[in-house]
Chains A and B, each alone.
Chain A
Amino acid sequence: AQSVTQLDSQVPVFEEAPVELRCNYSSSVSVYLFWYVQYPNQGLQLLLKYLSGSTLVKGINGFEAEFNKSQTSFHLRKPSVHICDTAEYFCAVSDLLEYGNKLVFGAGTILRVKS
């Protein structure tokens, strides 16, 4: 069964600084990868997804992620964060061999942007 590890539970960063949120998944032949964002008291919103093709994926709000098959990683990056990026971020994987398009989520990383 798939598993997802988000290596940092909390990441504090100053406004306008770059940030990287790390995600590793257990190895599989074919996976789809997702990053979701959750603002306080809201549901999850899709930031970006990797299905195939270019390993650098661009998403909403200036975020991007790089798929690295050899390291089974899918780290999320933003070159300059803003206060409004403060939220919890979840990495998720869908195994193509699993029925039902189910997602396995990491434990989440809370990004705190400070002024």
Chain B
Amino acid sequence: NAGVTQTPKFRILKIGQSMTLQCTQDMNHNYMYWYRQDPGMGLKLIYYSVGAGITDKGEVPNGYNVSRSTTEDFPLRLELAAPSQTSVYFCASSYSQPGQPQHFGDGTRLSIL
């Protein structure tokens, strides 16, 4: 199994550009999550989804949007890229039962210049 797959692995954007970070999982997990990781800050939850068609904000949602049209895919969109969005972005998924661990992708390193 591939697990959680994120594309692209690296990307450089100019201020004001937009892009979509792709995430797909093949484990039939209902729950999916997007985090950003900044040095010394741990991971912060951006958005999460408990199933197709259902999304909700996390701790740091401003400047991002998500959609969940299928169980497998959970793309993250940046509409107007800002330098503050330079970060490493991780997608994760899990089964819905309480206590189930989250499985992480390898991340997307994004620089906004």
Contacts and interface: CB of A to CB of B under 8 A. Distances in A.
Given A43-B4, A43-B106, A107-B40, A102 B101 contact: no
Interface residues of A, number: 27
Most buried by B among A101, A104, A105: A101
A77 to B, nearest CB: 20
A49 B100 CA distance: 9
Contacts of B31: 100-101
B105 interface: yes
A44 interface: yes
Interface in A50-91: 51, 90
Nearest to B109: A41
Contacts of A49: 99, 101
Nearest to B31: A101
A99 B30 CA distance: 13
A101 B97 CA distance: 8
Contacts of B96: 101
Interface in B45-78: 45, 48, 50, 56, 58
